[in-house]
Amino acid sequence: MVKSKMKLALSLALGLVLSGCGGSSFDDENVSAASSEKILTVTGKAIDGYIVGGTVFLDINGNGNAEPNEPQKETEVGGDYTLNISEEDAECLAYSAIIVDVPVGAWDEGSEDENVAAHEVTDPYQIVLQPTFKAITEEDFTNGLVRNISPLTTVVWEAIERSYPPFAENKGNNPNDSETNAKHCHYLKKHDEAVQELKQEIEDAVVGLVQFYNLSADQMYADFIADKDSDAFHVAQDIMKGLKAAYKRKTDLREQYSDYQNAEIRVFVHRNPELDEYFQVDNGWYRDEIVFLGTEDLVEFSKLQDTDKLDEVDFISSKFHELGQEWNEQDKSGWLSVRKDAYREMNGTYRCAKNERVSFDVNGIHYELGNSSDSATLANSFEECNFDDFSSPYEKNYHLRYTEGEASYSAAFYFRAEQARFTELADWKEFTDNPEFNAQDMIDTLILTPYKWEDEVTIDTAYWRKRKEEPGVQIDIDNDNNWQRATKQDDGTTLYECSSDGENWTECTD
């Protein structure tokens, strides 16, 4: 989705004025001068080999850049760093990643035990420690905290970063807007549900990574050089190859989209045993790149060639492009979105799909009409996908959303050629070239559907589904009378229950 949505789906913008945390200066002289203010001391090591000359900083606004008013310090011999954090900013330590920028010219001390010589850094990269989401205590101010940052902690961060919405509802806007930027410390402080979900993501990520790399959770966060942990060291070196490739690709994309001031770009280069099995390859490298440009999304997943720098694409596994724009009557918030998708099959052909949607908002109801192509259409290559013709849609769909009290409701109805309603609004297609439709005609048609949560669906559809969302609870029902209820638990997990009547629930087995 492009307009006001939270999804994948799923990196960052620029800005120097931080609303919320901060405002203090971070050199030792100014910290010590503020003698009446409590200071939280965070120490640790930046590790690949030990990194000297990197910049470690608390990423309060979540944009991945060291801003002037964020606590920061250069790493020293042995990879050591010390952050002296004011009491005000210390609150953000629980909600913000700690990042080490490693520039060209920094020094990697290597590892004598692993026969890795000390060397100058020739390609820039970042290593990251994810937020803990644990409140800072008085004991922490007294004793200080230790936080090691390495490729192993970075791969945990990458696993949960995919779950962050792209600046929440303000995609393309300033990351310093703590009301809408889901990576901002102050956003998370006010959205405990998001925090609980991310805490669960961290637990799940660590469990998965422990299994994949055959390391313990303690090893993931330890100083594997001081511990002479050869297994962890070599895993870290393998991970670092992907981190450097991802950082380079992200830098290139930022240059490519430099005209977009607040472009959000995420790149992950990783191994994936499930994709290895699907594509029948041995221990492959994969790249996920996601670019949000405000009203345009570009997403590409690729299998990479195993070169030194992991900078050559073997094949594109899937690609998505969505473009949104204002359309038709603006007093009804008219909006057009066109999405083009391609998915690679195991035999090397591509499934090509396209979807166009127009929407209006009137009297608290969101009305949306979409046309979709047949997703079974195949092409011999990605370049051969035909994304331009919307003259003969395979499927038409209606979506309606509304809110009553604290509950939000939505309904979606899908029609194909065998349903009579497929011919309703038959001229409503190829919207890019036809912006002059009468919005009221669409609204009058969609309002006659049984979209209310309590409405019985008796119309003929290819399929339909409805959803009810209340704080902590989401209920779904579809045309096969499958009910599912998802309930957030106090520990951050989600309980999934199934039913055939919406009254008697049992825990889902699948």
Got the DSSP string for 319-354? EEEEEEEE-S-GGGT-EEEEEEEEEE-TTS-EEEEE
What separation in angstroms does the CA of 347 have from each of 198, 313, 319, 385, 474?
37, 18, 17, 16, 38
What is the SS3 string spanning 209-235? HHHHHCCCHHHHHCCCCCCCCHHHHHH
Give the burial string for 171-192 (b: 16+ CB within 10 Å, else e). Answer: bbbbbbbbebbbbbbbbbbeee
Q: What is the DSSP string of 351-384?
A: EEEEEEEEEEEETTEEEEEEEE--TT-EESSGGG
pLDDT above 50: residue 320:
yes
**Which residue carries 């259409």 as its tokens?**
377
| pLDDT recorded at residue 166 | 56
Residue 87 and residue 20 in contact, taking contact as beta carbons nearer than 8 Å: no
Give the residue-averaged pLDDT of 199-214: 88
The pLDDT value given to residue 174: 66
Q: Which amino acid is at 122?
A: T
Q: How many angstroms from the chain centroid is the CA of residue 4?
A: 15
Give the pLDDT mean for 200-214: 88
Measured in degrees and rounded to the nearest 5, phi and psi for residue 496 equal -105, 125
Question: pLDDT exceeding 90 applies to what percent of the chain?
Answer: 72
- Strands of 19-94 (E only): list them: 39-45, 51-52, 55-58, 72-74, 80-86
C-beta of residue 400 within 8 angstroms of C-beta of residue 464: no
393 or 8, greater pLDDT: 393
CA distance 261 to 239: 30
Instruction: Tell me, letter by letter, the H, E, C secondary structure of 443-477.
Output: HHHHCCCCCCCCCCCCCCCCEEEEEEEECCEEEEE
Q: 364 is written with which tokens?
A: 């608290």
Q: Could you tell me the two tokens for 55?
A: 């910049």
Residue type at 352 in one-letter notation: C
| pLDDT on residue 200 | 84
**209 CB burial (10 A radius; 0-12, 13-18, 19+):** buried
Q: Above 70 in pLDDT, residue 495?
A: yes
Are 57 and 99 contacting, i.e. CB atoms less than 8 angstroms apart? yes
Round to the nearest angstrom and report the end-to-end CA distance of the chain.
28
Helices 230-256 and 151-161 pack at an angle, to 10 degrees, of: 50
Q: Is the pLDDT of residue 400 over 50?
A: yes
Position 3 pLDDT exceeds 60: no
Residue 261 confidence (pLDDT): 78
- Contact criterion met (CB below 8 Å) for 442 and 425: yes
Contacts of 133 (CB under 8 A, 6+ apart): 94, 95, 188, 195, 198, 199, 202
Cα 470 to chain centroid distance, Å, stands at: 23
pLDDT tens readout for residues 39-51: 999 999 999 999 9
pLDDT of residue 490: 78
DSSP H or E segment with residue 304: strand 296-304
Average pLDDT over residues 185-190: 90
| Mutual angle of helices 192-213 and 151-161, in 10-degree steps | 130
> What pLDDT digit, counting tens, does each position of 231-287 carry?
999 999 999 999 999 999 999 999 999 998 778 888 999 999 899 999 999 999 999
pLDDT greater than 70 at residue 1: no
Average pLDDT taken over every residue of the chain: 88
Instruction: List, for residues 418-475, the tens digit of each pLDDT value.
Output: 999 999 999 999 999 999 999 999 999 999 999 999 999 999 999 999 999 999 899 9
pLDDT band for position 180 (50/70/90)? confident
**What is the distance between the alpha carbons of residues 367 and 209, in angstroms, rounded to a whole number?**
42
Nearest to residue 186, comparing CAs of 418, 302, 298, 19?
19
Are the C-beta atoms of 264 and 291 separated by less than 8 Å?
Answer: yes
Please name the helix (run of DSSP H) or strand (run of DSSP E) that holds residue 313, with its range, or none.
Answer: strand 313-326
Give the model confidence (pLDDT) of 58-90 as tens digits. Answer: 999 998 999 999 999 999 999 999 999 999 999
CA 471 to chain centre: 22
Mean pLDDT of 223-237: 95
Task: Give 387's pLDDT tier (boundaries 50, 70, 90).
Answer: confident
The two three-digit tokens of residue 26, written as one number: 């971070």
CA–CA distance from 228 to each of 4, 220, 269, 355 (Å)? 49, 14, 27, 54
Select from 28, 13, 125 the least CA-distant residue to 61. Answer: 13
pTM for the model: 0.80
> What Å distances lie between residue 220 and 145, 210, 286, CA to CA?
17, 8, 22
Average pLDDT over residues 505-510: 90
Instruction: Note the pLDDT tens digit of each residue in 326-378.
Output: 999 999 999 999 999 999 988 889 999 999 999 999 999 999 999 999 877 78
Under 8 Å between Cβ of 356 and 337: yes
173 pLDDT tier (thresholds 50, 70, 90): low
Is residue 5 pLDDT above 50, yes or no? no
194 confidence band (pLDDT: 50, 70, 90): confident
